Amino acid sequence: MGFFSNILEKLGMKDAAAAPVITPPPAAAPADAPVVSPAAPAAPAVSSISMVDVVALLTEKAAAHPEKLNWKTSIVDLLKLLGLDSSLAARKELAKELYCPDELMGDSAKMNMWLHKNVLGHIAANGGNIPQELL
């Protein structure tokens, strides 16, 4: 199980965590473009992914958390809110899993911005209701 699967599991998306939709970017994609692909069509015997109200869940967790965390703009705060490791090493592991471009890996600020956008995009691709303005 990869780091992204842990995120889905913490969001209550166990079915999606079993086989998350993560695909490498096309070769010609710009470095700052989000890497999100639509879920592959399910086989007829498989039911569709049910939507999870991620915004409501994270907003509720943020209200109850002792620290003021802004999960809508910060990957570190998002990971903290989910009770996951938010260290630079953990974020680099997640970035590699989501195919972050090599040129962003050396600049933690750029990597974090890319990572936040792509984590939210991948959550949406796996059945989370992420508003378009966050993608």
30-54 in b/e form (b: 16+ CB < 10 A) is eeeebbbeebeeeeeeeeebeebeb
Q: Distance between terminal CA atoms of the chain?
A: 25
pLDDT at 28: 56
Q: What is the mean pLDDT of residues 92-111?
A: 96
Tokens representing 103 are 């040129």
Q: Are 125 and 135 in contact (CB under 8 A)?
A: no
Report residue 14's pLDDT band, with 50, 70 and 90 as the boundaries.
confident
Q: Which residues contact 78 (CB under 8 A, 6 or more apart)?
A: 58, 69, 71, 116, 119
pLDDT at 12 over 60: yes
DSSP state, 47? P
pLDDT tens digits, 35-71: 555 554 444 344 444 578 899 999 999 999 999 999 9
Decide which of 16 and 127 is more confident: 127
Largest CA distance in the chain: 45
Q: Mean pLDDT, the chain, as a whole number?
A: 84
